[in-house]
């Protein structure tokens, strides 16, 4: 990237830092300085924006930062998708593809919030899981110095590209192509671990590679919902902390460099009955903390959208790995009815959780703690009264 491109980007970068500071995402002068030092467009020279094709389906259209009028878009507070799974991506025309995103440059306000939550200090050694474009690694280099920054991505091509971009602006952190759920390949120890992909539970290697007193910030995917947690690691390798006020979700960690494994699902149980209910699809879709609570109540259950083959009517469906399910309509005259397939326990739990959440004053996500013991046992609890849920993945 030429000096003139950098000069051209400077006003956008300055405006982005001001916006992130005003919004409360950047909270300290150290991070304001780091954000102001790193041009995002160097790390996101091209990306994909979603649009609807002539035939009515969603496609990803490639955009280039160098194109007239595009540079400003790299400095908006938006997530920019930067890679698509080659196994699902199909070319629609010269610049558009379908497919599932496998990498992105995260929403800058979300990154700022997580970096602030990480509470780094000078001299801290940090491991990032999910190098992606390298932008977050560059921010860490600007804040701490390149010798303290380590980052891994499961996709070696992304690591190579990130390394080149980091070098181009003078940073040489330690990068490696690796499954970050196994930690850093050389087994180094860190004061901080930040993951920009989600995990179903805290991998054993993370507390093992963290100094006692260190901090882990990650997105925990608990099935129906998940969220960002900020966790302290103790000398016995227990991790203990809470869900953060910083809201945001990440793409799931995968073992394969370029693609997600196909999810195996049990066949749907046959429909058993329909009942009135006091919990609607809108209640679940509107209230993030309630969805998180549902994930505590129903480990292993997924939230999916179901389309009726005959009528095309859409429903929100909770689906157990054993094939049982419960479904509430998204539109129509029967919003307060639930239909079951298999055992009715799923919706009984939803109604119980709705009652508990309302009786408890609708607590937000940061009212819940998270703990993982060294034997892998994980639980969450409501901080004000200690009510606890055991959430080991099924």
Which residues are identified as catalytic? 105
Q: How far is the CB of 393 from ligand SAM (least distance, A)?
A: 16
Instruction: Pick between residue 59 and residue 112 the one whose CB is nearest to ligand SAM.
Output: 112
**Region binding ligand SAM by CB under 6 A among candidate stretches 27-35, 126-134, 294-302, 356-364:** 126-134
Ranges within 225-254 binding ligand SAM (CB under 6 A): 250-251, 253-254
143 counts as binding ligand SAM under rule CB under 6 A: no
Stretch that binds ligand SAM, among 61-69, 177-185, 289-297, 375-383 (CB under 6 A): 177-185
Assess contact for 348 and 338: CB atoms under 8 A. Answer: no
Residue 210 φ/ψ, nearest 5 degrees: -110, 135
Candidates 215, 175, 163; CA nearest to 194 is 215
| Least spacing, CB of residue 81 vs ligand SAM, in Å | 9
Shortest distance (Å) from residue 158 CB to ligand SAM? 5
Task: Considering only the stretches 52-60, 98-106, 209-217, 385-393, report the one whose residues sit in contact with ligand SAM under the rule CB under 6 A.
Answer: 98-106
Question: Which position among 129, 229, 295, 350 is part of the footprint of ligand SAM (CB under 6 A)?
Answer: 129
Q: Minimum Å distance from CB 28 to ligand SAM?
A: 19
CB of 320 to ligand SAM, least distance (A): 26
Size of the site for ligand SAM (CB under 6 A): 25
Three-state SS string across the chain, please?
CCHHHHHHHHHHHHHHHHHHHHCCCCCCHHHHHHHHHCCHHHHCCEEEEEEECCCCCEEEEEEECCCCCCHHHHCCCCCEEEEECCCCCCEEECCEECCCEEEEECCHHHHHHHHHHHCCCCCCCEEEECCCCCHHHHHHHHHHCHHHEEEEECCHHHHHHHHHHHHHCCCCCEEEECCHHHCCCCCCCEEEEEEEEEECCCCCHHHHCEEEEEEEEEEEECCCCEEEEEEEECCCCCEEEEECCCCCCCCECCCCCCCCCCCCCCCCCCEEEEEECCCCHHHHHHCHHHHHHHHHHCCCCEEEEEECCCCCCEEEEEECCCCCEEEEECCCCCCCEEEEECCCHHHHHHHHHHHHHHHCCCCCHHHEEEEECCCCCEEEEECCCCCEEECCCC
Under rule CB under 6 A, residue 223 binds ligand SAM: no
The residue among 199 and 328 lying less far from ligand SAM, judged by its C-beta, is: 199
- 63 or 106: whose CB is closer to ligand SAM? 106
Q: Which is nearer to ligand SAM, 103 or 277 (CB)?
A: 103
Q: Which is nearer to ligand SAM, 115 or 301 (CB)?
A: 115
Confirm or reject binding of residue 152 to ligand SAM (CB under 6 A). Answer: yes
Residue with smallest beta-carbon separation from ligand SAM: 132
106 binds ligand SAM (CB under 6 A): yes
- In the complex with ligand SAM, the residue whose CB is nearer, 206 or 389, is 206
> Can residue 179 be called a binding residue for ligand SAM (CB under 6 A)?
yes
Residues that bind ligand SAM (CB under 6 A): 102-106, 129-130, 132-133, 135-136, 152-155, 158, 179-181, 196-197, 250-251, 253-254
């Amino acid at each position: 990237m030429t000096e003139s491109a950098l000069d051209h980007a400077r006003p956008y970068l300055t405006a982005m830092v001001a916006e992130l500071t005003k919004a409360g995402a950047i909270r300290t002068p150290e991070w304001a300085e780091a954000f102001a030092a790193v041009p995002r467009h160097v790390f996101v020279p091209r990306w994909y924006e979603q649009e609807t094709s002539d035939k009515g389906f969603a496609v990803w259209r490639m955009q280039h930062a160098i194109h007239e009028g595009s540079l400003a878009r790299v400095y908006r507070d938006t997530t920019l998708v930067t890679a698509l799974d080659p196994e699902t991506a199909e070319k629609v025309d010269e610049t558009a593809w379908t497919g599932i995103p496998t990498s992105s440059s995260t929403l800058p306000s979300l990154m700022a919030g997580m970096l602030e939550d990480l509470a780094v200090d000078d001299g801290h050694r940090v491991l990032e899981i999910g190098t992606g474009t390298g932008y977050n690694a560059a921010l860490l280099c600007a804040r701490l110095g390149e010798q303290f920054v380590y980052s891994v991505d499961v996709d070696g091509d992304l690591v190579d590209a990130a390394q080149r971009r980091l070098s181009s602006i003078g940073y040489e952190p330690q990068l490696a192509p690796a499954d970050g759920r196994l930690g850093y390949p050389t087994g180094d120890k860190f004061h901080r671990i930040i993951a920009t992909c989600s995990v179903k539970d805290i991998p054993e290697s993370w507390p093992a590679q963290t100094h006692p007193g260190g901090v882990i910030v990650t997105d925990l995917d608990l099935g129906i919902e998940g969220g960002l947690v900020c966790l302290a690691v103790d000398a016995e390798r227990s991790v203990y902390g809470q869900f953060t006020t910083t809201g945001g979700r990440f793409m799931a960690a995968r073992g394969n460099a370029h693609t997600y494994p196909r999810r195996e699902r049990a066949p749907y149980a046959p429909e058993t009955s329909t009942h009135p209910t006091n919990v609607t699809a809108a209640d679940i879709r509107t209230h993030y903390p309630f969805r998180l609570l549902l994930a505590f109540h129903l480990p292993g259950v997924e939230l999916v959208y179901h389309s009726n083959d005959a009528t095309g009517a859409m429903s929100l469906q909770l689906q157990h790995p054993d094939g049982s399910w419960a479904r509430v309509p998204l539109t129509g005259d029967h919003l307060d009815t639930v239909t079951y397939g298999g055992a009715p326990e799923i919706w009984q739990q939803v109604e119980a959780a709705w009652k508990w959440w309302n009786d408890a004053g609708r607590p937000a996500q940061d009212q819940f703690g998270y703990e993982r013991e060294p034997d892998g046992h994980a639980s969450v609890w409501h901080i004000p009264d200690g009510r606890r849920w055991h959430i080991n993945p099924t």
